[in-house]
């Protein structure tokens, strides 16, 4: 029996595990880094212990410190969540040796599945179908290149120790091979401390279909159906659904049986996921096994009506699985998306910042798993995921419709998110038709993440109306204080002696200035924006709620003010503009074309040029690493490198100067 459970993780998964453990009557113990002292997961548990500084390597990845806390807090078991130490065989082994139950498989099973190479060898022996490829010992670039040629291009290079799409490179032709091998090995080394690679045939237009398995210590192993995670960007999952759309029941059964065979082959215990790639002909091939709970486990919970953490904790306590294969049925359909602090219009650059407003939708069939709250922040230290938005419906159409509606009601102010991108994805006709492959998002990125979209006039009109109503409320309050509510100075309707009653506002939509003239006429405002005129009335309630009519049509919105920023949420979308204050002169002349600054807090991995180098537009200048992903900094124009302000290994803040170069135009004048 588990009385005290230590949760060796943070964020939404720590909150998720705590919820079930507490429901099962366990005492829960959280661990937290210095950055997480006030985090939601800390408050979700009965007790919380500090484990070190913010960087995960000094806190959440410190197996020794966490184990010491487990002993001192008298924990019977440790739940590792996902990420961090969840697939660390050494940590699982230390728990086993300390007599503390590791909520997961035996360390031997993690070891067996820990390397993609080793796992493929085992699976071949167990008769599980594989993607054709090379997973041998010889790691010389010559050998890898030779194997790639044998397989035939395109090939996919994968870090054997990899996960989360890191350390993967598609190589389309011989000419890209050497750079691909170097890049994948470097990323594998940086992310996992292991640069070994495997080579696979790169399948065209495949689907990613994975099977949830569960095993107990009494020899029972079963599967909880599949999830389709084909909506991916750069091999990272974006949308996950269960069951897989259109999967034939015979294929479902065959994949389920293969997954169970894979789990049995390594003596698996607990929750695990066997990932398959399904090719166009309908054949499936083993990719890897994740020996932990997955980020996307909620969709399986919703279609089976089960709590997978409850099952994990029961299995960890030595109980047999509560159901048999034949007892399991699929109920309806579920879909999940990952809401991230990132900017789709700027190549999905991770965002950090305060969560000034954070509101999630509620409603029939909607579930939100989050580990942050309004007033908190997304920091550079951890993954920028804000929440998982999950919807369940009687069928796929209903589940996707609910998910789209829920996404339209998310309100985040303070960081840019991918909510709009996710909504467009979920509503895309091909997604709705259930016919997408893993390349779909990449091919459609232009429509899914359009850049340079301008804020529509009606949104600016609403923002203008909210300004007027706020001014009006302020003026009325001031008049009430002076005791003369009839004073013309207490009117905010733009009333002026000898002038028409108007206010001129200037909103900044990105870099574009948009003048909005608000004129008060009788009982309503007219907003003049370019050639359009809108008649507006409205009332501003608590918490930014704006009840308005635009040309007679009722329109509900939420307006959030934060400094000069105005965020408008309406009709299932959010927009953000800045109110230009003409008094605050913007001295942004520093943004010259020849100066490149860090787009986010990051680590400099490599500097690819030297001072004096003549570079063409698009030339790689340096590689940065942020959030464990590499980002290339390229020359925005032709020029000569004048100064390099950083060295490999440097940690840079957002906005820090990286490279200064004279542009070709300036050079031409000088010479």
Task: State the residues that interact with ligand ADP by CB under 6 A.
Answer: 131, 156, 158, 162-166, 168, 200-203, 206, 208, 232, 235, 275, 277, 287-288, 438
DSSP state of 126: T
CB nearer to ligand ADP: pick between 300 and 416: 300
3-state secondary structure 280-341: CCCCEEEEEEECCCCCCHHHHHHHHCCCHHHHHHHHHCCCCCCCCHHHCCCCCEEEEEEEEE
Nearest-approach distance from CB 110 to ligand ADP, in angstroms: 14
Which token pair is 659?
Answer: 């490279």
Nearest-approach distance from CB 139 to ligand ADP, in angstroms: 18
Buried-exposed string 547-556: b where 16+ CB fall within 10 A, e elsewhere: ebbbeeeebe
CB nearer to ligand ADP: pick between 45 and 148: 148
What does each C-alpha distance from 549 to 531, 533, 646 come to in angstroms?
Answer: 20, 14, 54
CB nearer to ligand ADP: pick between 55 and 154: 154
Nearest-approach distance from CB 106 to ligand ADP, in angstroms: 21
Q: 506: burial class by Cβ within 10 Å (0-12, 13-18, 19+)?
A: middle
Cα–Cα–Cα angle for 94, 98, 103, rounded to 5 degrees: 70
Phi then psi dihedrals of residue 581, to 5 deg: -105, 110
Nearest-approach distance from CB 278 to ligand ADP, in angstroms: 10
3-state secondary structure 464-532: HHHHHHHHHHHHHHHHHHHCCCCCHHHCCCCCECCECCEEEEEEEECCEEEEEEEEEECCEEEEEECCE
CB nearer to ligand ADP: pick between 154 and 354: 154
Handedness of CA 82, 83, 88, 93 (dihedral sign): negative
Which token pair is 236?
Answer: 């990272």
**Nearest by Cα to 566 from 514, 618, 623, 639:** 514
- How many whole angstroms separate alpha carbon 511 and alpha carbon 654? 19
- Non-local (6+) Cβ contacts of 402 within 8 A are 363, 364, 365, 366, 391, 392, 393
Nearest-approach distance from CB 160 to ligand ADP, in angstroms: 10
Nearest-approach distance from CB 606 to ligand ADP, in angstroms: 22
Which token pair is 309?
Answer: 């953490």
**Nearest by Cα to 123 from 333, 288, 336, 241:** 288
CB nearer to ligand ADP: pick between 154 and 332: 154
Nearest-approach distance from CB 166 to ligand ADP, in angstroms: 6
**Nearest by Cα to 546 from 524, 568, 531, 513:** 568
Nearest-approach distance from CB 148 to ligand ADP, in angstroms: 12
CB nearer to ligand ADP: pick between 27 and 201: 201
CB nearer to ligand ADP: pick between 156 and 659: 156
Contact between 25 and 94 (Cβ < 8 Å): no
- How many whole angstroms separate alpha carbon 433 and alpha carbon 440? 13
Catalytic position from the list 169, 233, 252, 292: 292
Active site residue 402: no
Contact between 323 and 218 (Cβ < 8 Å): no
CB nearer to ligand ADP: pick between 115 and 576: 115
Active site residues: 292
């Amino acid at each position: 029996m588990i009385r005290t459970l230590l949760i060796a993780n943070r964020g939404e998964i720590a909150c998720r595990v705590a919820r079930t453990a507490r429901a099962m009557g366990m005492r829960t113990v959280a661990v937290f880094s210095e950055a997480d002292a006030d985090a939601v997961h800390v408050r979700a548990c009965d007790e919380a212990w500090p484990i070190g500084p913010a960087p995960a390597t000094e806190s959440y990845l410190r197996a020794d410190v966490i184990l010491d806390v487990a002993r001192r807090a008298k924990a019977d078991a440790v739940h590792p969540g996902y990420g961090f130490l969840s697939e660390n065989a050494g940590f699982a082994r230390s728990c086993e040796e300390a007599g503390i139950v590791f909520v997961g498989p035996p360390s031997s099973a993690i070891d067996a599945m820990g390397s993609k190479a080793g796992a493929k060898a085992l699976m071949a022996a167990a008769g599980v179908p594989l993607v054709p490829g090379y997973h041998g010992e010889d790691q010389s670039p010559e050998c890898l290149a030779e194997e790639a040629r044998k397989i035939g291009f395109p090939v996919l290079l994968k870090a054997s120790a990899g996960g989360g799409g890191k350390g993967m490179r598609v190589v389309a032709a011989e000419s890209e091979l050497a750079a691909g091998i170097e890049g994948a090995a470097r990323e594998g080394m940086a992310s996992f401390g292991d640069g070994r690679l495997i080579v696979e045939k790169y399948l065209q237009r495949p689907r990613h279909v994975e099977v949830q398995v569960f095993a107990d210590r009494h020899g029972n192993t079963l599967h909880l159906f599949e999830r389709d995670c084909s909506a991916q960007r750069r091999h990272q999952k974006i949308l996950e659904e269960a069951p897989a759309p259109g999967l034939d029941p015979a294929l479902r059964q065959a994949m389920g049986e293969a997954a169970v065979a894979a789990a049995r082959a390594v003596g698996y215990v607990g929750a695990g996921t066997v990932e398959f790639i399904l090719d166009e002909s309908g054949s499936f091939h083993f990719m890897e096994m994740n020996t932990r709970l997955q980020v996307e486990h909620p969709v399986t919970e919703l279609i089976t009506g089960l709590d997978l953490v409850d099952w994990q904790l029961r299995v960890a306590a030595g109980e047999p699985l509560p159901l048999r294969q034949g007892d399991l049925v699929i109920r309806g359909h579920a879909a999940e998306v990952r809401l991230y602090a990132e900017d789709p219009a700027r190549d999905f650059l991770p965002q950090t910042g305060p969560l000034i407003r954070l509101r999630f939708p509620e409603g029939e069939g909607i579930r939100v798993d989050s580990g942050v709250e309004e007033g908190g922040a997304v920091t550079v230290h951890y993954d920028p995921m804000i929440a998982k938005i999950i919807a369940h419906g009687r069928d796929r159409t209903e589940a996707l419709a609910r998910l789209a509606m829920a996404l339209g009601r998310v309100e985040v102010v303070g960081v840019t998110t991918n909510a709009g991108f996710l909504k467009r994805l979920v509503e895309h006709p091909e997604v709705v038709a259930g016919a997408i492959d893993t390349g779909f998002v990449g091919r459609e990125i232009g429509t899914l993440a359009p850049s340079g979209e301008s804020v529509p006039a009606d949104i600016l009109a609403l923002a203008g109306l909210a300004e007027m109503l706020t001014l009006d409320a302020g003026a009325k309050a001031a008049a009430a204080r002076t005791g003369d509510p009839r004073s013309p100075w207490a009117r905010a309707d733009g009333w002026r002696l000898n002038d028409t009653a108007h206010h001129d506002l200037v909103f900044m939509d990105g870099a574009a200035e948009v003048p909005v003239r608000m004129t008060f006429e009788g009982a309503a405002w007219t907003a003049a924006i370019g050639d359009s005129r809108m008649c507006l009335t409205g009332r501003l309630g608590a918490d930014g709620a704006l009840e308005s009519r635009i040309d007679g049509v009722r329109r509900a919105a939420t307006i959030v003010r934060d400094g000069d920023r105005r965020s408008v949420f309406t009709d299932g979308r959010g927009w953000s503009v800045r109110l230009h204050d003409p008094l605050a002169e913007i001295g942004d002349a520093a943004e010259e074309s020849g100066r490149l600054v860090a787009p986010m807090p990051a680590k400099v991995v490599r500097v690819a040029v030297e001072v004096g180098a003549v570079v063409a537009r698009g030339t790689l200048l340096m590689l940065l690493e942020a959030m464990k992903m590499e980002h290339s900094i390229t020359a925005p124009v032709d020029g000569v490198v004048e100064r390099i302000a950083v060295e490999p290994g440097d940690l840079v803040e957002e906005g820090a100067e990286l490279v200064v170069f004279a542009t070709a135009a300036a050079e031409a004048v000088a010479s």
